[in-house]
């Protein structure tokens, strides 16, 4: 369990609440009309050191194994600050979190200076997530970023994902070779780790918890990663139950297929909207 003072709650009403852990600004719960939409492992570790296994960890400034630092970058294992506490505005509640460069990140990542603002907005049957990266230094830098969304489902076998047909994808399970997706609806029946390149901006993920479907709309996040560790990988992950692969599917919106360059003083804004339909 996370310590209470690590968690910021955005409370629209009793049945529509989301929780953000300041460790990584990881969204660890999204209650939509009383149904939990996000998967968090029973084995997840809340020690403010390890990345939280589940919810929506933020990948930045690097997706995947990184020669300069930890896998998926430092954002998901850094302590964020609460820049704007939860406030109600009409039918939504929003809060903004901030990660700034510090001695540790500068040492790891070529002395780059940045502000990364993350705004979470919960509405009725909707969650909106906004990333805003600002280059505060005198030199340009490159980064990749992704919202590593773990959706909760009662049965991963029934989940379908639309919007990927005809796209090229890198299949990390098959020596990172490139393939073209042939299916209108992607289903997951085995260990899957794919990076779909340059997808249309809308994907529908069906049969999530409570038989809910979610439409994911992306702005400035052209790529989609689909991941499920299945039985074989689940067994070797210490913070993931052996059978939990049945209860989750990661559909991750990112800018990851190629790095984004940001010149000195420039800004990169991107967002994901999750609508429960």
Ligand X SMILES: O=P(O)(O)OC[C@H]1O[C@H](O)[C@H](O)[C@@H](O)[C@@H]1O
223 binds ligand X (CB under 6 A): no
Q: Smallest gap, in angstroms, from Cβ of residue 4 to ligand X? A: 25
3-state secondary structure 110-135: CCCCEEEEEEEEEECCEEEEEEEEEE
Q: Is 71 annotated as a binding residue?
A: yes
Give the HSE-up count for residue 221: Cα atoms under 13 Å, Cβ half-sphere. 27
Q: Which of 74, 227, 255, 268 binds ligand X (CB under 6 A)?
A: 227
Q: Is 76 annotated as a binding residue?
A: yes
Q: What element of type H or E holds 253? A: strand 248-262
Contact criterion met (CB below 8 Å) for 129 and 120: yes
Q: Which of 18, 141, 159, 193 binds ligand X (CB under 6 A)?
A: 193
Q: Which of 19, 23, 72, 152 binds ligand X (CB under 6 A)?
A: 72
Residue 140 in tokens: 């340009």
Contact criterion met (CB below 8 Å) for 124 and 14: no
Nearest CB to ligand X, comparing residues 22 and 52: 52
* Backbone phi and psi for residue 230, each to the nearest 5 degrees, phi listed first: 55, -175
Contact criterion met (CB below 8 Å) for 118 and 2: no
Backbone angle region of 219, left / alpha / beta, with phi > 0 → left and psi within -120 to 50 → alpha: beta
117 binds ligand X (CB under 6 A): no
Q: Which of 165, 172, 246, 260 binds ligand X (CB under 6 A)?
A: 172
- Binding mask 240-269 vs ligand X (x if CB under 6 A, - otherwise)? ----------x-------------------
Nearest CB to ligand X, comparing residues 210 and 241: 241
Nearest CB to ligand X, comparing residues 101 and 193: 193
Q: Which of 71, 102, 166, 261 binds ligand X (CB under 6 A)?
A: 71
Nearest CB to ligand X, comparing residues 71 and 107: 71
Q: Among residues 72, 148, 181, 244, which one is catalytic?
A: 148
Contact criterion met (CB below 8 Å) for 140 and 236: no
83 is catalytic: no
18 binds ligand X (CB under 6 A): no
Nearest CB to ligand X, comparing residues 51 and 127: 51
Query: CB under 8 Å to 30, separation ≥6 — which residues?
Result: 17, 18, 36, 37, 38, 122, 127, 274
Q: Which of 177, 240, 257, 266 is nearest to 42 (CA)?
A: 240
252 is catalytic: yes
In the block, residue with structure tokens 């379908």: 160
Q: Smallest gap, in angstroms, from Cβ of residue 233 to ligand X? A: 7
Q: Smallest gap, in angstroms, from Cβ of residue 276 to ligand X? A: 23
CA distance 13 to 205: 25
225 binds ligand X (CB under 6 A): yes
Q: Is 231 annotated as a binding residue?
A: no
51 binds ligand X (CB under 6 A): yes
List residues binding ligand X (CB under 6 A). Answer: 51, 71-72, 172, 193, 225, 227, 250
């Amino acid at each position: 369990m996370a310590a209470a003072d690590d968690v910021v709650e955005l409370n629209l009403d009793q049945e529509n609440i989301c929780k953000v852990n300041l460790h990584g600004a990881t969204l660890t719960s999204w209650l939509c009309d009383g149904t939990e939409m996000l998967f968090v492992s029973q084995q997840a570790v809340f020690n403010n050191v390890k990345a939280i296994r589940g919810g929506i960890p933020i990948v930045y400034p690097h997706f995947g194994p990184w020669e300069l630092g930890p896998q998926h970058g430092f954002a998901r294992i850094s302590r964020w600050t609460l820049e704007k506490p939860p406030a109600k505005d009409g039918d939504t509640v929003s809060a903004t979190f901030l990660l700034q460069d510090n001695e540790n990140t500068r040492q790891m990542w070529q002395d780059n200076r940045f502000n990364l603002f993350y705004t979470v907005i919960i509405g009725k049957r909707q969650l909106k997530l906004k990333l805003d990266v600002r280059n505060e230094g005198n030199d340009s830098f490159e980064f990749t970023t992704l919202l590593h969304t773990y959706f909760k489902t009662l049965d991963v076998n029934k989940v379908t994902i639309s919007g990927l047909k005809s796209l090229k994808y890198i299949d990390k399970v098959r020596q990172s070779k490139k393939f073209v997706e042939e299916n209108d609806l992607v289903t997951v029946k085995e260990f899957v780790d794919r990076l779909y390149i340059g997808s249309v901006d809308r994907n529908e993920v069906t049969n999530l918890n409570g038989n809910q479907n979610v439409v994911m709309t992306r702005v400035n996040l052209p790529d989609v990663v689909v991941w499920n560790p299945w039985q074989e990988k689940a067994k070797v992950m210490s913070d993931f139950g052996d059978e939990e692969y049945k209860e989750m599917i990661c559909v991750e919106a990112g800018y990851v297929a190629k790095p984004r360059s940001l010149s000195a003083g420039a800004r990169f804004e991107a967002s994901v909207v999750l609508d429960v339909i």
